[in-house]
Amino acid sequence: MRGSIGIIDSGVGGLTVAKEILQRLPTESVIYIGDRERCPYGPRPAEEVREYTIEMATALSKMGIKMLVIACNTATAVALEEVRKLFSFPIIGVITPGARAAVNATKTGKIAVLGTIGTIKSSAYDKEVLNLLPDATIIPLACPEFVPIVESGQYKSEFASEVVKRTLHAIVDKDFDAAILGCTHYPLLESYIQTHLPDHVKIISSAIETARDVEQTLLVNGIGNLSKSHKKPVFFTTGSPEDFLEIVVDWLSIEEPDVRHIEL
């Protein structure tokens, strides 16, 4: 598994990033770790999130990855800089790409940020957006019920729609024209989020922008896979491989994916 792109997340949410990377860079090999056993990360203390993030990065480092994507907004917010100090390969997060996409999309400079408790509390998106657009207005909203819905596989249910509607009620009457999905689990609820926000609001997922950053990072560092052959993606989970496999098949449309259990 040497020479692969490593991707880590608190659970299945980072599959939204993995999907974009696999589509944009079809010759690259991917190894994914989803820490479903300890998900969600959002309500956890920052020190715990840092510890878990380092554990996943270390496991992938031992497998010989060439770069790492922290595809979890909470982990990116509290652990990115610390993890970068520990490893020699390039490491990127999902917050900067998401903020950049939102700034490019907004016409009014008024941007909502939907995220976990940890991400919203960190103000990481606020800082990134304001760095790019100093006059921006940020409307943050913690959505603690979203991740459990996705992790339990209920993201296509009527219950999910009801929870999204109830959660977004707090900001639906506010003035903004872009909404950042500040958690990689949230794109799995995007249809409901779009339905329960005004039609003019543009939904921003960091996944597409992150895949572009991965491509650029490979190019700048001269570590892209120049051959046309690549290994099949490998997905590790600290939870049940059977449950994880179902979501991989549904979301990435991969037949008989290689899903394995891992102890961290």
Residues with active-site annotation:
72, 183
Q: Could you tell me the two tokens for 51?
A: 């510890």
Phi then psi dihedrals of residue 3, to 5 deg: 80, 15
**Of 121, 128, 123, 137, nearest to 44 (Cα)?**
121
Strand partners, 33: 8, 236
Return all residues near 240 (Cβ < 8 A) that are at least 6 apart: 36, 261
**Of 98, 258, 248, nearest to 188 (Cα)?**
248
**Of 262, 235, 238, nearest to 247 (Cα)?**
235
Pure H helices in the chain: 15-24, 46-62, 73-86, 95-105, 117-122, 124-132, 146-151, 158-168, 190-195, 206-221, 241-252
* Measured CA distances, 171 to 44, 46, 217 (Å): 25, 26, 36
Secondary-structure percent of the chain, ordered helix, strand, coil, rounded to 5: 45, 15, 35
Q: Could you count the other beta carbons within 10 Å of the beta carbon of residue 86?
A: 11
Pure H helices in 133-205: 146-151, 158-168, 190-195
